[in-house]
């Protein structure tokens, strides 16, 4: 498939679909036509399964046959290896005409393969550490993205001349940190790396790495990244938006430099101060303070003071800025969620009742944004969050999709005896029971759709749900100038579901959390593993500066105008689906830190 064909497929070609075709999906080309050649018929998690987990295989039906069973065989056993046949049953209709097989009762550790007729799955394991053994790769990806220092086998010391302010031209030392993606920029999203590192340390401790590396790699990586993060705090206590986003957000700074301060190739600081990143910064510094409190109290206090200063500045600021560019997609609900988390972590770091009161008040605001009544002339789903007060649109976010209920669960964990604790937990239960579970059951892959809509707010296909409500698995392609894969969305929901499994002792939440991560690791319509260095059929990443990065997670599968899955497996240099990005690794580590037993 050439590049023009691919762009036409994903809805980015110059031609527009006729309005009549937006009311219902046209008869699409076959699934095979979406890629150069047929996708594999069998899809499952390339890593494998923990022995006591639910184990699902998906088989894509073809015109030639509709098989009735699959065969599971053990590949590495001495003596008489396990070999069983099980029925394939019809699955939910969304995202392909597929059958589903269940072998959850098989718990013997080993290497396995599934066959259906002449089709074979990738080899996979059943073992206790199938997820945990990937964490060191995910963390090593963060290390590979270091800026301002030589990274072995990657690049010499870089960007030692960062950076010049866009507004005044003044040079400010903002060297160091991490490149954020398949680019050389350092944006607010870079801070999310810290949450992956710190939650691994908080939740799993020294056992996070089966190889026994201990906490040192996590803590030293956090120190390295935080040197830069502390540097982007301005004199007023607020932090800047990005380094190397260009002069006007044009990406012109996305390049190597000569490392000499004061000449034309110096990159720029964006002096805007978006509200969302202030609260991510505060939350991070409060967590750093807790993590280093015993081993390095001076450093811990320094970071806590920076977080408190930023919190105080946000209380005084008349209005925190948001750039006009549509790349700032987050909703007020997203910002409110992180503001709540910031208050919670400041309380955990200080024990000061002011932060408890602020967190409880913010929790009340989050409750007020939840749809407790059915809307849109339907009684199928409710319990989702609205984007903002007075806004009928649902909260949707390519990165922070599940953060409102995540924040409420953190509130209830921090203040279990608060008068509103039961209300916070009930709000999460409502979201799970009457939004997440019914929507995720609509496809054999079990993933949570990107969001629900009233009608069709953009000129493309929205799947009918009930009444006036519609939904899409993937980001709309006609809403704004950009859209991308949904790996962070799914991983954020994996985090929520993992937290809910523990908070409510619900096995089905744990199983569903794994289904979100299994999509990333190969249980998807393309049978492609989206972490470099794991699994098979990996797309080539959009990573023009560093190339392949072991442990890097790509943006993932996106959708076209008909909400059909698309993925560039033809080395088409498509950033929408194949670019590395820090949030994916961060939420992957964060979710697994909760899913994995300590």
How many CB atoms are closer than 10 A to CB 23?
10
In this prediction, residue 33 carries a pLDDT of 37
pLDDT tens digits along 357-367? 999 999 999 99
Average pLDDT over residues 377-399: 95
Could you tell me if 558 and 576 are in contact, meaning their C-beta atoms sit under 8 angstroms apart?
A: yes
Average pLDDT over residues 101-130: 96
Q: Using CA atoms, how far apart are residues 235 and 506, in angstroms rounded to an integer?
A: 47
Q: Using CA atoms, how far apart are residues 70 and 153, in angstroms rounded to an integer?
A: 44
Burial of 27 (0-12, 13-18, 19+ CB in 10 A): exposed
Per CATH, the architecture of 131-328 is what? Answer: Alpha/alpha barrel (1.50)
First-to-last C-alpha distance (Å) of the chain: 46
In this prediction, residue 8 carries a pLDDT of 40
Instruction: Indicate left, alpha or beta for 311 from its phi (over 0: left) and psi (-120 to 50: alpha).
Output: alpha
Could you tell me which of 414, 412, 404 has the C-alpha nearest to residue 367? 404
Average pLDDT over residues 166-179: 96
- pLDDT beyond 50 at 551: yes
How many CB atoms are closer than 10 A to CB 422?
11
The more confident residue out of 11 and 560 is 560
Burial of 321 (0-12, 13-18, 19+ CB in 10 A): middle
In this prediction, residue 78 carries a pLDDT of 78
- Rounded to the nearest 5 percent, the helix, strand and coil shares of the chain are 35, 15, 50
In this prediction, residue 422 carries a pLDDT of 98
Least confident piece of the model among 39-43, 50-54, 203-207, 452-456 = 39-43
Task: Spell 111-123 as b/e; 16+ CB within 10 A means b.
Answer: bbebebeeeebbe
Kindly write down the DSSP assignment for every residue of 380-447, as one continuous string.
S---PBBSSTT--SBP--SS-TTHHHHHHHHHHHH-TTSTTHHHHHHHHHHHIIIIIHHHHTTBTT-P
In this prediction, residue 66 carries a pLDDT of 82
Could you tell me if 591 and 494 are in contact, meaning their C-beta atoms sit under 8 angstroms apart?
A: yes
Could you tell me which of 374, 337, 343 has the C-alpha nearest to residue 356? 343
In this prediction, residue 36 carries a pLDDT of 34
Q: What is the mean pLDDT of the chain?
A: 91
In this prediction, residue 3 carries a pLDDT of 38
* 337 φ/ψ angles, rounded to the nearest 5 degrees: -65, -45
Least confident piece of the model among 14-18, 37-41, 230-234 = 14-18
In this prediction, residue 330 carries a pLDDT of 74
User: Chain centroid to CA 132: how far?
Assistant: 18
In this prediction, residue 249 carries a pLDDT of 76
**6, β-bridge pairs:** none
Average pLDDT over residues 468-478: 97
- pLDDT beyond 70 at 323: no
Radius of gyration of the chain (CA): 24
Pairing of strands 48-49, 124-126: parallel
Going from the C-alpha of 333 to that of each of 369, 394, 412, the distances in angstroms are 8, 10, 18
- pLDDT beyond 80 at 31: no
Q: Using CA atoms, how far apart are residues 155 and 41, in angstroms rounded to an integer?
A: 40
- pLDDT beyond 50 at 60: yes
- pLDDT beyond 90 at 527: yes
Average pLDDT over residues 394-410: 97
How many CB atoms are closer than 10 A to CB 577?
28
Average pLDDT over residues 289-298: 98
The more confident residue out of 133 and 65 is 133
- pLDDT beyond 50 at 466: yes
Q: Which tokens is 220 given?
A: 């030293």
Q: Using CA atoms, how far apart are residues 257 and 266, in angstroms rounded to an integer?
A: 7
Most confident of the ranges 29-43, 312-326, 402-416: 402-416
pLDDT tens digits along 341-357? 999 999 999 999 999 99
pLDDT tens digits along 232-278? 999 999 999 999 998 877 889 999 999 999 999 999 999 999 999 99
Domain over 42-126 is classified CATH 2.60.40.10:
yes
Could you tell me if 175 and 250 are in contact, meaning their C-beta atoms sit under 8 angstroms apart?
A: no
> Where along the chain do its domains lie?
42-126, 131-328
User: What percentage of residues in the chain have a pLDDT greater than 90?
Assistant: 85
- pLDDT beyond 60 at 480: yes
Q: Which tokens is 239 given?
A: 């932090």
């Amino acid at each position: 498939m050439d590049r023009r064909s691919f762009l036409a497929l994903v809805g980015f070609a110059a031609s527009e679909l006729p309005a009549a075709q937006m009311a219902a999906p046209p008869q699409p080309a076959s699934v095979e036509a979406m890629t150069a050649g047929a996708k594999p018929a069998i899809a499952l998690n390339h890593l494998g399964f923990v022995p006591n987990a639910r184990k699902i295989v998906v088989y894509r039906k073809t015109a030639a046959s509709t098989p009735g069973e699959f065969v599971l065989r053990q590949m590495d056993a001495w003596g008489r290896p396990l070999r069983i046949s099980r029925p394939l049953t019809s699955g939910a209709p969304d995202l392909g005409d597929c059958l589903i097989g269940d072998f959850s009762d098989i718990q013997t550790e080993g290497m396995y393969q599934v066959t259906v007729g002449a089709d074979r799955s990738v080899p996979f394991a059943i073992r206790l550490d199938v997820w945990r053994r990937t964490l060191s790769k995910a963390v090593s990806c963060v290390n590979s993205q270091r800026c301002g220092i030589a990274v072995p086998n990657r690049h010499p010391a870089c960007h030692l001349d960062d950076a010049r302010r866009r507004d005044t031209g003044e040079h400010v030392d903002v060297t160091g940190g991490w490149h954020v993606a398949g680019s050389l920029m350092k944006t607010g999203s870079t801070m999310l790396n810290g949450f992956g590192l710190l939650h691994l340390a908080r939740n799993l401790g020294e056992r996070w790495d089966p190889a026994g590396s201990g906490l040192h790699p996590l803590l030293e990586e956090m120190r390295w990244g935080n040197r830069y993060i502390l540097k982007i705090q301005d004199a007023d206590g607020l932090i800047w938006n990005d380094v190397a986003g260009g002069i006007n957000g044009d990406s012109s700074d996305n390049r190597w430099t000569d490392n000499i301060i004061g000449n034309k190739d110096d990159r720029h600081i964006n002096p805007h101060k978006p509200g969302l990143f202030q609260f991510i910064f505060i939350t991070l510094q409060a967590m750093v303070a807790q993590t280093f409190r015993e081993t390095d109290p001076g450093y811990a206090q320094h970071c806590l003071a920076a977080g408190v200063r930023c919190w105080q500045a946000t209380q005084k600021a008349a209005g925190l800025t948001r750039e006009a560019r549509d790349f700032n997609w987050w909703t007020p609900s997203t910002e409110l969620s992180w503001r709540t988390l910031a208050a919670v972590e400041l309380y955990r770091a200080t024990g000061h009742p002011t932060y408890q009161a602020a967190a409880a008040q913010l929790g009340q605001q989050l409750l007020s944004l939840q749809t407790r009544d059915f809307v849109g002339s339907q009684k199928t789903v409710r319990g989702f969050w609205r984007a903002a007060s007075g806004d009928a649109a649902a909260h949707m976010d390519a990165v922070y999709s599940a953060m409102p209920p995540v924040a409420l669960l953190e509130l209830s964990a921090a203040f279990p005896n608060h008068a509103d604790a039961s209300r916070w937990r009930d709000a999460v239960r409502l979201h799970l029971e009457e939004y997440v579970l019914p929507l995720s059951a609509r496809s054999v892959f079990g993933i949570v759709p990107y969001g629900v809509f009233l009608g069709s707010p953009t000129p493309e296909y929205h799947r009918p749900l009930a009444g006036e409500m519609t939904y899409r698995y993937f980001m709309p392609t006609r809403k704004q100038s950009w859209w991308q894969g949904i790996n962070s969305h799914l991983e954020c929901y994996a985090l929520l579901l993992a937290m809910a499994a523990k908070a409510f002792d619900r096995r089905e939440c744990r199983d569903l959390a794994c289904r979100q991560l299994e999509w990333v690791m190969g249980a998807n319509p393309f049978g492609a593993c989206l972490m470099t260095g794991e699994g098979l059929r990996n797309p080539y990443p959009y990573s023009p500066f560093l190339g392949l990065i072991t442990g890097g997670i790509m943006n993932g599968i996106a959708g076209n105008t008909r909400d059909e899955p698309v993925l560039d497996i033809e080395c088409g240099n498509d950033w929408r689906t194949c670019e590395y990005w820090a949030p994916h690794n961060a939420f992957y580590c964060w979710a697994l830190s909760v899913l994995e037993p300590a």
